[in-house]
Amino acid sequence: QKEVEQNSGPLSVPEGAIASLNCTYSDRGSQSFFWYRQYSGKSPELIMSIYSNGDKEDGRFTAQLNKASQYVSLLIRDSQPSDSATYLCAVIQGAQKLVFGQGTRLTINP
């Protein structure tokens, strides 16, 4: 089992709809969870961090964490073509090591 798993996609969502990205992790002791957005050819950009169970909202983005199910998700409301990118889930495990999933490629269709 991979430490951090994401569906690689591609995930296609119509403009204006909600995009839902999911991630599961293996280390039950993980404490910190992050979502990064990476445009093609560019470096990852941090868009959300979440540390406790529940929802965290920032503009059109909502991160959801369920530690009991070892599951973290990212919702993007009112999806825009500029949201088309690869989204990386990252989890701090063990000795403060950030482990990345493979990423989900998201395409927003106008």
Partner 1 sequence: DGGITQSPKYLFRKEGQNVTLSCEQNLNHDAMYWYRQDPGQGLRLIYYSQIVNDFQKGDIAEGYSVSREKKESFPLTVTSAQKNPTAFYLCASSLQGLYEQYFGPGTRLTVT
List b or e across 32-56, with b for residues whose CB sees 16 or more CB atoms inside 10 angstroms. ebbbbbeeeeeebeebbebeeeeee
Of 15, 78, 98, 109, which one interacts with partner 1 (CB under 8 A)?
98
Q: Which one of the spans 13-21, 52-60, 70-78, 98-106 is the region binding partner 1 (CB under 8 A)?
A: 98-106
* Shortest reach from residue 96's CB to partner 1, in Å: 3
Phi, psi torsion values for 9, nearest 5 degrees: 80, -155
Alpha-carbon span 68 to 2, nearest angstrom: 18
100 binding partner 1? (CB under 8 A):
yes
Give contact residues for partner 1 (rule: CB under 8 A). 31-32, 34, 36, 42-46, 49, 88, 90, 92, 95-98, 100-103
